[in-house]
Amino acid sequence: MDPDNEVDYDMSPYLIRYKSGRVHHLMGTGRVDAGTDAATGVTSRDVVIDVGTGLAARLHIPSDVLGTSTKLPVLVYFHGGAFAVNSAFSTQYFRFLNALVSAARAVAVSVDFRLAPEHPLPAAYDDAWAALGWAVATASCARASSEQEPWAWLAEHGDPARLFVAGDSTGGNIAHNVAMRAGRRSGLPGGERIEGMVLLHPYFCGKELVAPSEGAEPRRRRSLETEERWWAFVCAERYGIDHPFINPVAMPATEWVSLGCRRAMVTVAELDRMRDRGRRYVEALRASTWAGDEAVLYEDQGERHVFFLSSSDDSGKTKQMIAAIASFMA
């Protein structure tokens, strides 16, 4: 059989890997062009951060700020997608980041990091760290030589003293791990510190099932086996399912001191099987040696995992959650 067509790993609906190494991504491959969004009044443009790795980002900024001397908080955002699908350039993230930037009055750096399995973890973590350092260094520039420079908006309007990291699902996992790295390395370029971290329905896992959302019945156990298999796949079996990358609540309370942000916000959804891990994360943080000022838990009733990325949310819950994030950032 042709190894280019013989299946090695089938994780539909995300992707299929063939024995030749070829990967067929089944979702999250669409792309929408940057530009001005009439609905939110936010303008975006794309920038390459590292030509060697292909690390790129999409910058989002309120259009009315352009041409002024206004300084805004800097939000570095990491998209979800099981570490293997989606991008910062997809329709759903274009729509969501525009709405968030409009409400929070910030300049956002939506990071397009390398995906597994072609680039297994820690590639995404390394890209996220590089993007965060780039954002801080760029926002710390005195000014750009020209507004036409792709990164000029960040230099002209970003305030590195008001720095936030955020992400949804596995992007929330990435945001947490970036904040941990920032603390362990005693800060960021120029001595800047992450003011706040926002984890939206963060993706964490572990051997011990967390009740009641994960429960202990057989089907939940099978779900854990699937999660273990997926985690081993995206990290090329480098880390176990209880490694702090994927199971931070397994860390001793003393290790939370390394979380390098001043404030934290975690959102969970009532119908999300990972909701109790998000709650336990906040509990562990509050009970730890973390030196931060505030750990906020925000709950969406009657909603499922990352519902806010759907264009069909007519309940107003997405607007409410975005308003809560904007309030936290303010």
Which sequence positions are flagged as catalytic? 169, 272, 305
Residue 139 to residues 54, 74, 267, Cα–Cα distance (Å): 21, 8, 28
Whether residue 296 contacts residue 325, with contact meaning beta carbons closer than 8 Å, is answered with no
Q: Whole-angstrom distance between the N-terminal and C-terminal Cα of the chain?
A: 59
Could you tell me the two tokens for 229? 């298999």
Question: Which amino acid, one-letter code, is at 232?
Answer: A
CB neighbour burial string for 74-91, b if at least 16 within 10 angstroms, e if fewer: bbbbbbbbbbbbbbbbbe
Whether residue 44 contacts residue 31, with contact meaning beta carbons closer than 8 Å, is answered with no
Whether residue 113 contacts residue 127, with contact meaning beta carbons closer than 8 Å, is answered with yes
How far apart (Å, rounded) are the C-alpha atoms in residues 284 and 263?
14
Whether residue 308 contacts residue 248, with contact meaning beta carbons closer than 8 Å, is answered with no
> How far from the centroid of its chain's Cα atoms is residue 282's Cα?
17
> Which DSSP category does 7 fall into?
E
Rg (CA), the chain: 19
How far apart (Å, rounded) are the C-alpha atoms in residues 103 and 323?
7
